[in-house]
């Protein structure tokens, strides 16, 4: 039996503080949320990427005893309106759709947003607004916390039937339909706002492991991304069963021997993989697309950026055909199609 030297947890070490566990995170947020006597109120916005569990956030944020706490989902249009708006881009095809040109503003009900803002103006002391589009509902917050989620973890939550799409109630749908809605609509909407918030978020929160959050400052996040973009690095690989082979990678990559196979290894697909920063000896997980968004030119170079913008145009993956059937047919698009 060979000893694997494949690193499944590559990371970039960066200086900074890290708060681990809800008790530690909330202790820090209590300091951050303290309202000085001279202020009438302090508004804290907790923006969430698709796939974050709002119930977990609400339970713990309530312990900060805000005078007003608003879940931004209540500012969305009705489910039927959003389904009607998005249906043409999902199409009737099982797999193919069209990338929608939507932003969060298209999902929000203007009257509900106005009512929410009026409640905030009338409130005193601590106000917390959390959820999808929270930073769109309240663009001028006193404190901004971003709760990130990598797409591979989102896909696991699809498979478990634990999350819905933006503004809809579809957690019972097949994972493939969830993925299609995410790819063509929801993730693009989340990414558009994330790109605006990456340079200015005060804190970045990792809730990939339920019940064990980790939080770093925005300064630490941005320093880590800048450092990563200027050196050789790897994103966090993920593995999945396939209709073919999958026995070789079990040994070479030191994977779970109890699984039937691991035919796929996605070693660098930045729009879906995670990226690890090591802060105070702890691995802090985030979507690796953050690097593409925040360090586009340093990562891609000018000519590639000019052709593909803030999209990483290559996917690196291993397909293990050892001990199984035939490989799938691979179809590679033209440059114009991929753009």
* DSSP of 206-258: E-SSTT--EEEEHHHHHHHHHHHHTS---PBPEEE--SS--SHHHHHTT--TT
> Taking the CB of residue 309, how many other CB atoms lie within 10 A of it?
12
List, for residues 194-215, the tens digit of each pLDDT value.
999 999 999 999 999 999 999 9
Please compute, for residue 17, the number of CA atoms within 13 A of its CA located in the half-sphere on the CB side: 8
Is residue 150 one of the residues assigned to a domain? yes
Is residue 44 one of the residues assigned to a domain? yes
Q: Which domain holds residue 95?
A: 22-212
Task: Please tell me the predicted confidence (pLDDT) of residue 89.
Answer: 97
Cβ burial, residue 143 (10 Å; 0-12/13-18/19+):
middle
Number of domains in the chain: 1
Rounded CA gap, 93 and 101, in Å?
19
Q: Which helix (H) or strand (E) holds 57?
A: helix 54-61
Low-confidence ranges of the chain (pLDDT < 70): 1-2, 324-330, 338-339
List, for residues 112-154, the tens digit of each pLDDT value.
999 999 999 999 999 999 999 999 999 999 999 999 999 999 9
Is residue 83 one of the residues assigned to a domain? yes
Closest to 18 in 3D by CA, of 317, 250, 279: 279
Task: Please tell me the predicted confidence (pLDDT) of residue 175.
Answer: 94
3-state secondary structure of 129: strand
Is residue 110 one of the residues assigned to a domain? yes
CB 206 within 8 Å of CB 285: yes
We report the CATH number of the domain holding residue 176 as 3.40.50
Reading the block at residue 198, the tokens are: 């990456």
Task: Please tell me the predicted confidence (pLDDT) of residue 317.
Answer: 85
Tokens 């591979």 found at: 152
CB 61 within 8 Å of CB 46: yes
Task: Please tell me the predicted confidence (pLDDT) of residue 339.
Answer: 62
Is residue 280 one of the residues assigned to a domain? no
Is residue 121 one of the residues assigned to a domain? yes
Task: Please tell me the predicted confidence (pLDDT) of residue 158.
Answer: 97
Task: Please tell me the predicted confidence (pLDDT) of residue 242.
Answer: 82
Is residue 97 one of the residues assigned to a domain? yes
Task: Please tell me the predicted confidence (pLDDT) of residue 326.
Answer: 67
Is residue 331 one of the residues assigned to a domain? no
């Amino acid at each position: 039996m060979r000893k694997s030297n494949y690193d499944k947890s590559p990371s970039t070490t960066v200086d900074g503080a890290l708060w681990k566990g809800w008790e530690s995170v909330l202790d820090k947020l209590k300091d951050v949320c303290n309202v000085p006597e001279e202020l009438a109120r302090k508004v804290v916005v907790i923006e969430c990427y698709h796939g974050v569990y709002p119930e977990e956030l609400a339970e713990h944020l309530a312990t900060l005893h805000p005078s007003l706490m608003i879940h931004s989902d209540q500012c969305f249009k009705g489910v039927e309106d959003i389904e009607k708006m998005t249906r043409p881009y999902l199409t009737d095809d099982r797999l193919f759709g069209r990338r929608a040109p939507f932003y969060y503003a298209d999902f929000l009900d203007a009257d509900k947003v106005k009512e929410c803002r009026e409640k905030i103006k009338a409130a005193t002391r601590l106000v917390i607004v959390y959820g999808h589009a929270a930073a769109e509902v309240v663009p001028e917050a006193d404190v901004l916390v971003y709760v990130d989620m990598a797409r591979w973890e989102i896909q696991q939550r699809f498979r478990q039937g634990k999350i819905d799409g933006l503004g809809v109630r579809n957690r019972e749908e097949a994972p493939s339909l969830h993925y299609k809605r995410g790819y063509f609509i929801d993730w693009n909407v989340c990414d558009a706002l994330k790109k605006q918030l990456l340079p200015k978020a005060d804190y970045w929160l990792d809730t990939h492991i339920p019940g064990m959050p980790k939080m770093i400052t925005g300064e630490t996040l941005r320093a880590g991304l800048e450092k990563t973009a200027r050196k050789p690095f790897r994103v966090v690989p993920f593995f999945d069963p396939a209709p073919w082979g999958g026995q070789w990678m079990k040994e070479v990559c030191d994977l779970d021997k109890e699984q039937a196979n691991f035919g796929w290894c996605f070693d660098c697909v930045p729009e879906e993989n995670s990226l690890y920063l090591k802060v105070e000896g702890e691995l802090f997980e985030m979507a690796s697309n953050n690097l593409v968004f925040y360090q586009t030119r340093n990562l891609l170079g000018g000519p590639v950026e000019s052709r593909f913008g803030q999209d990483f145009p290559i996917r690196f993956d291993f397909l293990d055909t050892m001990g199984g059937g035939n490989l799938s047919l691979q179809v590679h698009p033209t440059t114009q199609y991929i753009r």
